[in-house]
Amino acid sequence: MIDFKQGIGMTSARTRDRLVQRLRDQGIRNKAVLEQIRNVPRHLFVDEALSSRAYEDTALPIGLGQTISQPYVVARMTEALLDGFEGEKVLEVGTGCGYQTAVLAPLVKNIWTIERIPELLRRAKQRLRELDIYNVQFKPGDGWKGWPKYAPYDGIIVTAAPDVVPEKLLQQLAPGGRLVIPVGPQGVQDLVMITKCGDHFEQVSLGAVTFVPLVKDNS
Ligand code: SAH
């Protein structure tokens, strides 16, 4: 049987290759990450009406006022998280449509992911199952609190921006663990990588990014 989806120009291998080349040109070096960007069918994570734009390096709406992150930013954050990564456990805050989760899942042993909008979480869960991704646990809830039950985590990746680094996320990092998070006011934030070194934290800035806010629920 002919797989027509594969045949559609905008989701074709060549379109994906072009995206990967673009990310390489912008400095993404990790081969496993680039391979994941090539393999994960991003067009299945956006509305069908937008699928022709799925392999552009741009953020797109996913409904309920949220967005799927730009592939460059997903690649950059994944690369930063995995650089020198030792360990197995990753916490993700801000599941959204699950694209970042799908890129990361085959590269680590286990992911625990939190999303505050239950309907987005439900759809993400379904999509990841359809893609045969089974090493992810999902939870509706407030990412400011982390997920203490399975802490500590070797890596924490946050795909919405708080104005300050949530204390509870720092507390849930394992020794040597790493937190990759955009921090700052709405509009433009600084993407930072924080590593837990003994009893202190080391912070490196990875550049300017734009994310939706990490909403503070008053509960
Ligand atoms: N990672 C997604 C992008 C998610 S956009 C991707 O790959 O495309 C950011 C997500 O964070 C949104 O879905 C939003 O609902 C969620 N979010 C915002 N504040 C949150 C909070 N306090 N706790 C958990 N999720 C939150």
Report the mean per-residue pLDDT for the chain. Answer: 93
Backbone φ and ψ for 62, nearest 5 degrees, come out as -120, 15
Q: Is the pLDDT of residue 45 over 50?
A: yes
Q: Whose CA is nearest to atom 8 of ligand 1?
A: 68
Residue, of 128 and 49, whose pLDDT is higher: 128
**Average pLDDT score over residue span 128-137:** 98
What are the C-alpha distances in Å from 18 to residues 59, 102, 176?
17, 20, 36
**Average pLDDT score over residue span 158-176:** 97
Q: Taking the CA of residue 87 as centre, how many other CA atoms within 13 Å lie in the half-sphere pointing to its CB? A: 21
Domain boundaries along the sequence of the chain: 8-209
Q: What percent of the chain has pLDDT over 90?
A: 86
Does the structural domain 8-209 have CATH classification 3.20.20.70? no
Q: pLDDT tens, 155-165?
A: 999 999 999 99
Cα 136–88–84 angle (5° rounding)?
125
CA of residue 214 to ligand 1 center, whole Å? 7
Supply the pLDDT for residue 22: 97
Supply the pLDDT for residue 4: 44
What are the C-alpha distances in Å from 135 to residues 41, 108, 138, 152, 201?
18, 9, 10, 17, 29
Q: Which residues line ligand 1 (CB under 6 A)?
A: 66-69, 93-94, 96-97, 99-100, 114-117, 120, 142-144, 159-160, 212, 214-215
Backbone φ and ψ for 68, nearest 5 degrees, come out as -85, 135
Of residues 12, 51, 69, 219, which has the active-site annotation?
69
Q: How far apart are CA 137 and CA 134, in angstroms?
A: 8
Q: How far apart are CA 39 and CA 24, in angstroms?
A: 15
36 Cβ partners below 8 Å, 6+ apart? 78, 103, 104, 106, 107
Q: Is 69 a catalytic residue?
A: yes
**Average pLDDT score over residue span 123-146:** 97
- Residue 207: strand pairing partners: 191
Q: How far apart are CA 212 and CA 49, in angstroms?
A: 22
